[in-house]
């Protein structure tokens, strides 16, 4: 067995052995990289095709490739989106490829454009956590996917807050600051929000919100049921609807009473 054959045998058994060979042949490099792509860090004078073999073997080999081509970058991120973190100045195509794998890849993107943000949050709502000062459109995409996304938004707009509360009253737990007008809006759209804030707000806010709701045309049977079943709200509910409700609201109350 000559040296070439011996080295090939040793590399086949342990790819890292190539670091002990002063001038490995192309075949030695190829065998090593196909076995373990990350041993590329021990190899000098690596051709583009060998770099591709390394990345195909292990996407994280891209970490050891300086200024990788777009093709190499695409190969890496298509196998593992986290490898985007190793690529300096990736092209839009590479970024979008990573985002197609996982929206959280947005955390590795400097100054993402609106399309990138949109794709990220559509893929994974929690990706909003990694977007600095997201536009209202992006916030809404996240909230419409899952109301709980509001916990990842530092300064949600009132529109976004309201949409979250429409979906789930519990969203109020993740809204730190709100004024009286905001609270009236929240109650207007989801009476169950009072389960979480009733002790912290003035009664007149509740009264005004309910007067607006029951005199308008947006009230439905679900809201009436939630209102009537809400134990934390201590008032003569039937009297309140008779006094402030319009014809539709009063009919919904009758329907509710007949259903129980």
What is the per-residue pLDDT for 1?
55
What is the per-residue pLDDT for 241?
97
Share of the chain above pLDDT 90, in %: 93
What is the per-residue pLDDT for 3?
81
Q: What is the pLDDT of residues 116-155, one digit of tens each?
A: 999 999 999 999 999 999 999 999 999 999 999 999 999 9
**Long-range residue pairs from 35-40, CB within 8 A, at least 24 positions apart, any chain:** 35/11, 37/61, 38/63, 38/64, 39/15, 40/64, 40/65
Q: Assess whether pLDDT exceeds 80 at residue 2.
A: no
**Model confidence band, residue 4 (pLDDT cutoffs 50, 70, 90):** confident
Q: What is the pLDDT of residues 182-219, one digit of tens each?
A: 999 999 999 999 999 998 999 999 999 999 999 999 99
Sign of CA dihedral 225, 227, 233, 235: negative
What angle separates helix 247-259 from helix 237-244, to the nearest 10 degrees? 150
Q: Assess whether pLDDT exceeds 90 at residue 5.
A: no
Q: What is the pLDDT of residues 17-61, one digit of tens each?
A: 999 998 999 999 999 999 999 999 999 999 999 999 999 999 999
What is the per-residue pLDDT for 153?
96
Mean confidence (pLDDT) of the chain:
96
Residue 58 structure tokens: 């292990």
3-state secondary structure of 51: helix
Share of the chain above pLDDT 70, in %: 99
């Amino acid at each position: 067995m000559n040296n070439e054959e011996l080295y090939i045998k040793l590399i086949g058994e342990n790819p890292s052995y190539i670091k002990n060979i002063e001038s490995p042949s192309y075949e030695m490099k190829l065998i090593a990289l196909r076995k373990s792509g990350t041993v590329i860090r021990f190899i000098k004078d690596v051709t583009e095709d060998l770099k591709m073999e390394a990345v195909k073997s292990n996407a994280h080999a891209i970490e050891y490739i300086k200024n990788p081509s777009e093709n190499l970058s695409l190969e890496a991120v298509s196998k593992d989106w986290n490898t985007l973190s190793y690529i300096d100045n990736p092209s839009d195509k590479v970024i979008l490829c990573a985002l197609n794998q996982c929206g959280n890849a947005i955390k590795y993107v400097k100054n993402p454009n609106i399309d990138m943000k949109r794709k990220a949050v559509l893929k994974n709502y929690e990706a909003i956590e990694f977007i600095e000062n997201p536009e209202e459109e992006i916030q809404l995409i996240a909230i419409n996917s899952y109301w709980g996304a509001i916990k990842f938004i530092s300064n949600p707009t009132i529109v976004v807050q309201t949409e979250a509360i429409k979906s789930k009253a519990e969203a109020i737990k993740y809204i730190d600051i709100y004024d009286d007008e905001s609270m009236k809006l929240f109650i207007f759209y989801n009476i169950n929000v009072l389960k979480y804030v009733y002790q912290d707000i003035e009664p007149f806010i509740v009264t005004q919100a309910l007067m607006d709701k029951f005199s308008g045309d947006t009230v439905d049977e679900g809201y009436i049921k939630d209102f009537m079943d809400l134990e934390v709200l201590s008032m003569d509910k039937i009297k309140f609807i008779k006094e402030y409700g319009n014809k539709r609201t009063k009919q919904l109350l009758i329907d509710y009473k007949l259903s129980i």
